[in-house]
Amino acid sequence: MEYVIEMRNIRKEFPGIVANDNVTLQVQKGEIHALLGENGAGKSTLMNVLFGLYQPEQGEIYIKGEKVDITDPNIANNLGIGMVHQHFMLVENFTVTENIILGREITTGGRIDLKKAAKEIQKLSDQYGLRVDPYAKIENISVGMQQRVEILKTLYRGAEILIFDEPTAVLTPQEIHELMEILKKLVAEGKSIILITHKLKEIMEACDRCTVIRRGRGIGTVDVASSSPRHLAEMMVGREVNFKVEKQPAQPKGAVLEITNLVVEDSRKVPVVNELNLQVKSGEILGIAGVDGNGQTELLEAITGLHKVKSGTVTLNGENITNQKPRKVTQSGLGHIPQDRHKHGLVLDFSIGTNMVLQTYYQQPFSKHKILKFQTIHNKAKALIDEFDVRTPSIHTPARALSGGNQQKAIIAREVDRSPDFLIAAQPTRGLDVGAIEFIHSKLIQERDKGKAVLLVSFELDEIMHVSDRIAVIYEGKIVAIVDPKETTEQELGLLMAGGKKDKAGDKV
Amino acid sequence: ACGKDDKAADDKKFKVAMVTDTGGVDDKSFNQSAWEGLQKFGADNKLKSGSDFKYLQSNSPSDYAPNLNKLVRDKYDIVYGIGFLMENDIKKVADQQPKGKLAIVDTVVDKKNVASIVFKENEGSFLVGLIAGMQTKSNKVGFVGGVESPLIKKFENGFKAGVKMANPKAEIMIQYAGDFNKAEKGLAIANTFYGKGADIIYHAAGGTGKGIFTEAKNRAKNGKKVWVIGVDRDQFEEGQPQGVTLTSMVKRVDIAVQQVSKDTKEGHFPGGKVVEFGLDKDAVSIAPHKENVSKDALAKVDEFKKKIKDGELKVPKDDKEYEEFLKTLKK
Amino acid sequence: MDFLQILALIIPAAIVSAAPIILTSLGGVLSERSGVVNIGLEGLMMFGAFIGALFTYYGQEWGLGAASPWMSFVAAIVAGAIFAIPHAIASISLKADQVVSGVALNFLAAGLSVFLTKKIFDAGQTPDIQERINKGDIPFLSKIPLLGDWLFSSAYVTSFVAVALAVIVWFVIYKTPFGLRIRSVGEHPMAAETMGINVIKTRYISVILGGAFAGLGGAIYVATISGNFSASTISGQGFMALAAMIFGKWHPLGAMGAALFFGLAQSLSITGEQIPYLKEIPNAILLVLPYVLTILALTGFVGRADAPKASGKPYEKGKR
Amino acid sequence: MMKGRFFPILVPVFSVILGLIIGAIIMLVSGYDPIAAYGALVTGVFGDSYNLGETVRTATPLILSGLAVAFAFRTGLFNIGVEGQVLVGWLASVYVGISLDAPMVIHLPLAILAGALAGAIWGVIPGLLKAKFKVHEVITTIMMNYIALYGTNGIIRAYLLQPGERTKDIKSSASLGSAFLGELTEGSRMHYGLIVAIIVAVIMWFILWKTTTGYELRAVGFNQHASQYAGINVSKNIILAMAISGAFAGVAGTMEGLGTFQYMSINNAFTGVGFDGIAVSLLGANGSIGIIVAAFLFGGLKQGALEMSSAAGVPTELVGIIIALIIFFVACSYLVHWLTNRFTKGGKL
Ligand SMILES: Nc1ncnc2c1ncn2[C@@H]1O[C@H](COP(=O)(O)OP(=O)(O)OP(=O)(O)O)[C@@H](O)[C@H]1O
Ligand SMILES: Nc1ncnc2c1ncn2[C@@H]1O[C@H](COP(=O)(O)OP(=O)(O)OP(=O)(O)O)[C@@H](O)[C@H]1O
Ligand SMILES: [Mg+2]
Ligand SMILES: [Mg+2]
């Protein structure tokens, strides 16, 4: 049988690690082929080899039976391979059109013909149902649209084989649903797809076959139809995985956080949080469900002091913290696992040990009379790294060199260890593998059981449903409903999140 | 060993050296002139360049002291510091090396082992001022200085006095660029002066003056008759090919250096004295290229040269003297 | 002097002194737009000035006459381009810190150009060049009332060359595929690479082109203003060009505007001494005026400017 | 692991050697005798105690200007304004040195502090504009340089002028100079400023690496968003960083005012101390010890160059070329990395 892609015995090394060790991947024409593995298993590496960004030390690649040598992405493009990268490859201050035509510009008389290009893009986007605004700048459009731009980029280049590296990690449920439809449409047109995802549900729903990698080695390929999530997870991790979040019923007490009539404006003076009221009680996990762009980010920033409040009040432990400086808010008993771990969570160029005291370096015992006590800091960092199983060669390793999962664990360690009365967890498991997710969920529940209040913001409905004790639905800057997860279905929740209007699938430009 | 050295000293050659400021020996200004004097002296006395007579260039003001020190310790019989900027360093070295003989140009250092060489730039500037006053058609002339200092003030006031002497009605524009090395400023100032109707500009502005020549040449090329008066050396070449150099005020540092070296060699080192060089010694004068200067103006120059030499006329060198000069003029 | 007269004095002078800065800042724009910071503009300009003086001199010797400065421009463009290569190699291929490499370039230019001058002419400066670019009235345009006097009378052709080049660079950067690629490489090289663009090559071309522009800027300074080359001919103009580039927000026309602004502020301060009333202001205050005005302009209405995102960062294939 | 430990030293040493070799080649090609030239260079530095003293004197302000650039770099700022900060520091220290009457224990520290304060103010202005108006510090510091140059000249001319286009000499109670050091070095202008410079180097190391302030400054330099998240006041730290950097530069100015010259003259051009500081700081890898070593290398080369041109007739510009080459090679440490990697990996990459 001829495969549209066949990667045989690929080996790729990085200094000190073998990322791919004798991996074989065979993709049939017209199928959606899943690639599954833990964080750091080598999935992205394998795909980057296929796309010509990395050169393998060993192994061969065949496209439609012909042996090829993909030394740079140009060759991959010419072979009809397109890739939607895990971290988007978009130039932020370019327009959608400019991003798509980059490298294959349409010109009239030496000058880029944006009109003509936009027309062509419109045609493609109509054909596949990939709605984009050709003249919008990337920095102004939603993540979902950015992803559609990425897909259009590959289609514009006439790709027959599309690689999606964790496309759903950053999408809302609605957007994921749309994406799956698009994938199906693409294979119906005869294209072949490789899909990397940590979400077994998606694999079960959309994929035909699945190849599993563990620690750089190929474990095997299975027919999805004849497999189960449990089986896939076991193949991936090498042990049994517990899917059900184990937790006792919550025993909520008094309100720790109280928000009344909160109004927050964005930079254009539009109120994005509008007369919002909310309470989080000690001993409960309150989940916030909502489509991206309904004021979640601004709400969290307003609570934490990173964004100015227009009106209304926020009280924490009875103390008014409205428009207080972040430091003051933190001292009042707030812990914050930020949504963007690279932007807010870590100073990537500091060592991981140093990052462990980012919130406490100025307090005793980590410093005294403004002098840092390194011995204490190191001991603390070591203890946390052990307790939270952060995989790092040493506490002196720059945070940058850790994998995303381990970076996330480090942040959680830091925030949880301070034992704040109120903990914000924003997208805490985005992009993490099932093992890591399991760990983080259990930590959140542990905090709850200690009597802390936890506010969980997530686009993963699964996560919201399983971890929260109560769910608040946010829509257009307001809490529109508070529901009990045990008495609600995902469908009902989805409806509430959409504000009752179905066409509102997160497409704010 | 000492005795031997002393004995050898008699038939040993007389050695001279100088320290330039940051301009270097080819600054087309006083460093170059001084070095030419030293070279002439060397040739006259059959000295070897680079050992018997030489110069050291300073890359920054902090190099003056080590350079002077080095030369004195290398037993040069007289060491010149070129420019008033070295005043303090000369003092210091003179104190440290009481046996060394030093000389400074353009300022006065009151030390027994330092000879001070000064010029009467005001007298030379007076002469070119006369020419400017006579030859201006618009009755407007300009003076551009580099960085303001008493030294440059001598140029300014001598020039102004000359102009007023020859042409009491003439208007004189004055501007200091604040820089000796910003040609674009010179160009902009010249543009302003010529634009306001001046037809002759005298400059004492070093590299900034380059811009003045550039502007003058441009105007000349477009058929406007404008002039520049050069400074320090004959700047006839700078005015070519359009020939915009009217004349130059030449300051003969070379003559001074030769003179002082010769005196020193003959045992008359003018230590502790101020040696003044003016019209009398032909150390300041107008340049040899005279083709652009009118006969009348030349006659006037000769007339006043004599008056100054005879002491009949005292040329002002600072603002106060100039004020007084103007009063005498009115009478 | 009335106001119009003052303008007629200030504006042409501003344009004259702006031309070298415009060109050099365009060089900066090209280089930094591709993601390579260039502190070495001063050095590139200096080397261009040296080559400009040298080749005009030889042009005269070889009997090229009035063509000599133009030939020197070509030579300076080539020399600037070549002189930018070490910076390109260091900061693109060898992943050097771009600021360090630029600083080294400045030292190298200062040392080498004067060293070579001494070697060739046995003097610290080149001879004065006879053949210059000369001011002249631009036919027809100089007849326009007011504007003709301000902009097109007794103006240097090279000033218009500079302005024209600014427009061309703008067109290239914003309207052509090549420009799109330069910008993409300066913003997100990894993205560009996945689109099949050769990041390394694009950056080399941009840096080398940038060197060519700065070299031309230096040569034009010699041909239109200083008339020869010495160690002090280029003293700070390259840094002003760097400032103009940032002031202009890395935009070719912005950089041009900033350079003209500097020129205007400079000539205002110079002419100011000859204007009644302003005359009374102490000289020192007029001298610092251009720089104070620049800071005020930046604070008042220019404000934030973001450098191309990837500028200053060496690109390593496959690095995250 | 040996490679790892010695690498930071390996690169500069390698670079200096390479720079000198290429310098020699240039000399050979252009007809100079490199052996004589380098001989003279060495004599110019170590030949006698006078030269040695002058080398130390040249290096002293460079240590401080290097530290000033480095401090800003460490906090994510590029301070090209050291030159101007040196000038205002110089003037302020001289002013205090002239106008005050006090015993040395008070007068000298006060004069140095005045210089530091003036430099700090000169640094704060760009810092403030950056923090409040997001104006790029590179432009403002360039502009501030010119304002300092013409401004200090204007102030001297208007208020402090003495014959010789300069201020009065400072009183001996404010002087860093010393008869003892002078005698020791045959009358060189070496002064006690070296001690000040070393103290400042220690201070910089201490602030950056041992204090919570340093932690904040570095965090802001690397990631403003994360710093804000952690409750660090970003604006305050940008301003503080520029203030400290400017203060270091101001102290570099006091080395000229209270040490080398003991007065300030009207400057026709920039001193170069600030621009050289950029190179020194980069050469010294922005670290205290590295900067001290680099300043001595720099000072030695500059001082030795005088002798090189005097004794061997080689233009001093050649030293500029060698310095440039050394900086280039240091910048290209990747090359050295690559070579050693290749070597240890047996040619496989
Ligand atoms: N640029 C790189 N430099 C060094 N090592 C790398 C690099 N990229 C990947 N690796 C190594 O290769 C291994 C595989 O990484 P890869 O990104 O392929 O994992 P992954 O399976 O995509 O993980 P995830 O699910 O988190 O995306 C990592 O554990 C890492 O050690
Ligand atoms: N620059 C680098 N140098 C060395 N190792 C690196 C580098 N970048 C990444 N790695 C390695 O790559 C591995 C995986 O990194 P990667 O960023 O793919 O993790 P991830 O879990 O996919 O995170 P994310 O969720 O951010 O995608 C890590 O184990 C890390 O050690
Ligand atoms: Mg991955
Ligand atoms: Mg990942």
Q: Per the structure, how many domains does chain A have?
A: 2
Mind listing the pLDDT tens digit for each residue in A139-157?
Answer: 888 888 899 999 999 999 9
Say whether pLDDT at C154 is over 80.
no
Rounded-to-integer distance, Cα D340 and Cα D333, Å: 11
- Interchain contact, C235 vs D269, CB within 8 Å: yes
Q: Which of D50, D163, D256 sits opposite B69 (nearest CB)?
A: D50
**Binding-face residues of D in 152-181 toward C, CB within 8 A:** 153-155, 157-158
- Interchain contact, C94 vs D269, CB within 8 Å: no
Q: How many CB atoms lie within 10 A of CB D5?
A: 9
Say whether residue D80 is in contact with chain C using an 8 A CB cutoff. yes
Residues of C41-68 as b/e, b for ≥16 C-beta within 10 angstroms?
Answer: bbbbbbbbbbbbbbbbbebbeeebeeeb
Q: Which of A432-436, B183-187, C299-303 has the lowest mean pLDDT?
A: C299-303
Backbone angles phi, psi at A214, to 5 degrees: -135, 125
Say whether residue D165 is in contact with chain B using an 8 A CB cutoff. yes
Is position A466 within any domain? yes
Q: Domain C3-304, what fold?
A: ABC transporter involved in vitamin B12 uptake, BtuC (1.10.3470)
User: Looking at chain D, which residue has its C-alpha nearest residue B59?
Assistant: D316
Is position A95 within any domain? yes
Task: Compute the C-alpha angle A401/A405/A406, nearest 5°.
Answer: 55
Boundaries of domain holding A325: 255-333+420-497
pLDDT at A453: 95
Contact C53, C230 (CB under 8 A): no
3-state class percentages of chain C: helix first, strand second, coil last, to nearest 5:
75, 0, 25
Helix (H, G, I), strand (E, B) or coil at D317: helix
Top mean-pLDDT range of B103-112, C182-191, C273-282, D162-171: C182-191
Q: Within this chain, do residues A231 and A261 fall inside the same structural domain, yes or no?
A: no
Mind listing the pLDDT tens digit for each residue in B37-60?
Answer: 999 998 888 888 878 888 888 888
Helix (H, G, I), strand (E, B) or coil at B53: strand
Q: Digits of tens for pLDDT over chain D (349 positions)?
A: 344 556 667 778 888 888 999 999 999 998 899 999 999 999 989 888 888 999 999 999 999 999 999 999 998 899 999 999 999 999 999 999 999 999 999 999 999 999 999 999 999 999 999 999 888 898 899 999 999 999 999 999 889 988 778 899 999 999 998 888 888 888 788 899 999 999 999 999 999 999 999 999 999 999 999 999 999 999 999 999 999 999 999 999 999 999 999 999 888 888 989 989 998 998 888 889 999 999 999 999 988 988 888 888 888 889 899 999 998 888 887 676 666 665 554 433 3
- Out of A237, A265, A295, a domain closes at A237
User: Looking at chain C, which residue has its C-alpha nearest residue A112?
Assistant: C176
Whose alpha carbon is nearest atom 6 of ligand 2? A401
Mind listing the pLDDT tens digit for each residue in A192-245?
Answer: 999 999 888 899 999 999 999 998 899 999 999 999 988 998 888 887 777 677
Whose alpha carbon is nearest atom 25 of ligand 2? A404
Say whether pLDDT at B6 is over 60.
no
| Ligand 2 contact, A431 CB (< 6 A) | yes
pLDDT at B331: 66
Residue boundaries of the structural domains of chain C? 3-304
Q: Which of C135, C231, C273 sits opposite B222 (nearest CB)?
A: C135
Task: Compute the C-alpha angle A255/A259/A265, nearest 5°.
Answer: 160
Shortest distance, CA C124 to any CA of chain B (angstroms): 6
Q: Within this chain, do residues A210 and A283 fall inside the same structural domain, yes or no?
A: no
* Bridge partners for A271 per DSSP: A265
Shortest distance, CA C168 to any CA of chain A (angstroms): 12
Rounded-to-integer distance, Cα B209 and Cα A331, Å: 66
How high does pLDDT run on average in chain A? 89
Instruction: Find the length of chain A.
Output: 509
Structure tokens at A20: 């791919």
Residues 6+ apart with CB under 8 A from D243: D120, D123, D124, D127
Residues 6+ apart with CB under 8 A from C131: C56, C59, C60, C64, C65, C66, C68, C69
Structure tokens at A181: 């439809």
pLDDT at A345: 92
Say whether pLDDT at C1 is over 60.
no
Q: Within this chain, do residues A45 and A146 fall inside the same structural domain, yes or no?
A: yes
How does residue B163 score in pLDDT terms, banded at 50, 70 and 90?
very high
pLDDT at A133: 92
- Out of A182, A207, A237, a domain closes at A237
Q: Sheet containing B140-145: which strands, arranged edge to edge?
A: B171-176, B140-145, B200-204, B227-232, B245-251, B284-286
Q: Taking CB atoms and an 8 Å cut-off, how many pairs form between chains B and D?
A: 73
- Interchain contact, A346 vs D222, CB within 8 Å: no
Q: How many CB atoms lie within 10 A of CB C272?
A: 19
pLDDT at A354: 95
- Interchain contact, C108 vs D321, CB within 8 Å: yes
- Out of A202, A237, A272, a domain closes at A237
pLDDT at B293: 85
Torsion of CA C32, C36, C37, C40, to 10 degrees: -100
Is position A480 within any domain? yes
How does residue A371 score in pLDDT terms, banded at 50, 70 and 90?
very high
Is position A80 within any domain? yes
Q: Within this chain, do residues A35 and A123 fall inside the same structural domain, yes or no?
A: yes
Say whether residue B242 is in contact with chain C using an 8 A CB cutoff. no
User: Looking at chain D, which residue has its C-alpha nearest residue B97?
Assistant: D187
* Probe site for chain B from D45, D145, D165 (most B CB atoms < 10 A): D165
Contact B159, B143 (CB under 8 A): yes
| Ligand 2 contact, A408 CB (< 6 A) | no
Say whether residue D161 is in contact with chain B using an 8 A CB cutoff. no
- Here the CATH number for the domain that contains residue A314 is 3.40.50.300
How high does pLDDT run on average in chain B? 87
Q: Which of A403, A406, A434 to mutate to test the pocket of ligand 2 (most atoms within 8 A of CB)?
A: A403
Residues 6+ apart with CB under 8 A from A509: A133, A136, A140, A141, A142, A145
Structure tokens at B101: 């003989």
Q: Within this chain, do residues A202 and A79 fall inside the same structural domain, yes or no?
A: yes
pLDDT at A1: 62
More confident site: B306 or D187 = B306
Question: Which of A215, A137, A203 lies closest to A164 in space, CA to CA?
Answer: A203
Q: Within this chain, do residues A207 and A72 fall inside the same structural domain, yes or no?
A: yes
pLDDT at B182: 85
Instruction: Find the length of chain D.
Output: 349
Is position A399 within any domain? no
Q: Which of A390-394, A421-425, A478-482, D331-335 has the lowest mean pLDDT?
A: D331-335
Task: Compute the C-alpha angle A338/A344/A347, nearest 5°.
Answer: 130
Q: Within this chain, do residues A269 and A319 fall inside the same structural domain, yes or no?
A: yes
Is position A301 within any domain? yes
Rounded-to-integer distance, Cα B297 and Cα B286, Å: 12
- A202 Cα–ligand 2 center, Å: 24
- Which 3-state string (H, E, C) describes D296-315? HHHHHHHHHHHHHHHHCCCC
- Which 3-state string (H, E, C) describes D60-125? HHHHHHHHHHHHHHHCCCCCCCHHHHHHHHHHHHHHHHHHCCCCHHHHHHHHHHHHHHHHHHHHHH
Q: Within this chain, do residues A91 and A132 fall inside the same structural domain, yes or no?
A: yes
Q: Within this chain, do residues A196 and A53 fall inside the same structural domain, yes or no?
A: yes
* Probe site for chain D from C94, C125, C235 (most D CB atoms < 10 A): C94
State the DSSP string of B124-192: HHHHHHHHHHHH-SSSEEEEEESS--HHHHHHHHHHHHHHHHH-TT-EEEEEE-S-SS-HHHHHHHHHH
Question: Which of A96, A199, A271 lies closest to A432 in space, CA to CA?
Answer: A199
Q: How many CB atoms lie within 10 A of CB D253?
A: 37
Is position A315 within any domain? yes
Backbone angles phi, psi at A103, to 5 degrees: 90, -20
Q: Within this chain, do residues A186 and A291 fall inside the same structural domain, yes or no?
A: no
Q: Which of A258-272, B228-242, C194-208, C300-314 has the lowest mean pLDDT?
A: C300-314
Say whether pLDDT at C139 is over 80.
no
Rounded-to-integer distance, Cα B112 and Cα B105, Å: 16
Say whether residue A367 is in contact with chain D using an 8 A CB cutoff. yes
> Is cis: bond before A420, omega within 30 of 0?
no
Q: Within this chain, do residues A18 and A59 fall inside the same structural domain, yes or no?
A: yes
Structure tokens at C68: 């000599």
Contact A294, A476 (CB under 8 A): yes
| Eight-class DSSP state of D159 | I
Task: Compute the C-alpha angle C82/C85/C88, nearest 5°.
Answer: 155
Is position A409 within any domain? no
- Interchain contact, D272 vs B60, CB within 8 Å: yes
Mind listing the pLDDT tens digit for each residue in D247-294?
Answer: 999 999 999 999 999 999 888 888 989 989 998 998 888 889 999 999
First to last CA, chain D: 19
Task: Compute the C-alpha angle C117/C121/C127, nearest 5°.
Answer: 90
Q: How many CB atoms lie within 10 A of CB A475?
A: 20
Structure tokens at A193: 């797809």
Say whether pLDDT at A503 is over 50.
no
Rounded-to-integer distance, Cα D317 and Cα D320, Å: 5
Strands (E), D7-78: none
Whose alpha carbon is nearest atom 29 of ligand 1? A40
Contact D312, D5 (CB under 8 A): no
Say whether pLDDT at B108 is over 50.
yes
Q: Sheet containing A311-316: which strands, arranged edge to edge?
A: A271-281, A255-265, A311-316, A319-320
Say whether pLDDT at A29 is over 70.
yes
pLDDT at B75: 86
Radius of gyration, CA atoms only, chain A? 24
Question: Which of D191, C170, D232 lies closest to A359 in space, CA to CA?
Answer: D232
Rounded-to-integer distance, Cα B281 and Cα C280, Å: 40
Instruction: Find the length of chain C.
Output: 320
Mind listing the pLDDT tens digit for each residue in C287-303?
Answer: 888 899 888 888 877 66
pLDDT at C310: 86
pLDDT at A424: 96
Residues 6+ apart with CB under 8 A from A271: A263, A264, A265, A310, A477
Say whether pLDDT at C309 is over 90.
no
CA distances from C52 to C111, C217, D35 (A): 17, 10, 34
**Which residues of C are less than 8 Å from D274 in CB distance?**
none
Contact D250, D120 (CB under 8 A): yes
Neighbours of chain D (3+ CB pairs under 8 A): A, B, C
Rounded-to-integer distance, Cα A235 and Cα A227, Å: 11
Say whether residue D276 is in contact with chain B using an 8 A CB cutoff. no
Contact D255, D262 (CB under 8 A): no
Rounded-to-integer distance, Cα C315 and Cα A304, Å: 36
More confident site: A29 or A38 = A29
Residue at A237: amino acid letter: V
Contact A444, A467 (CB under 8 A): yes
Mind listing the pLDDT tens digit for each residue in A449-500?
Answer: 999 999 999 988 888 999 999 999 999 999 999 999 999 888 888 888 877 6
Rounded-to-integer distance, Cα A330 and Cα D227, Å: 13
Rounded-to-integer distance, Cα D119 and Cα D142, Å: 14
Q: Within this chain, do residues A311 and A442 fall inside the same structural domain, yes or no?
A: yes
pLDDT at A62: 94
- Interchain contact, D268 vs B181, CB within 8 Å: yes
| Ligand 2 contact, A404 CB (< 6 A) | yes
Structure tokens at A309: 């409040």
Neighbours of chain B (3+ CB pairs under 8 A): C, D
Q: Which of A39, A344, A352, A440 to mutate to test the pocket of ligand 2 (most atoms within 8 A of CB)?
A: A39
| Ligand 2 contact, A37 CB (< 6 A) | no
Give the mean pLDDT of B209-238.
89
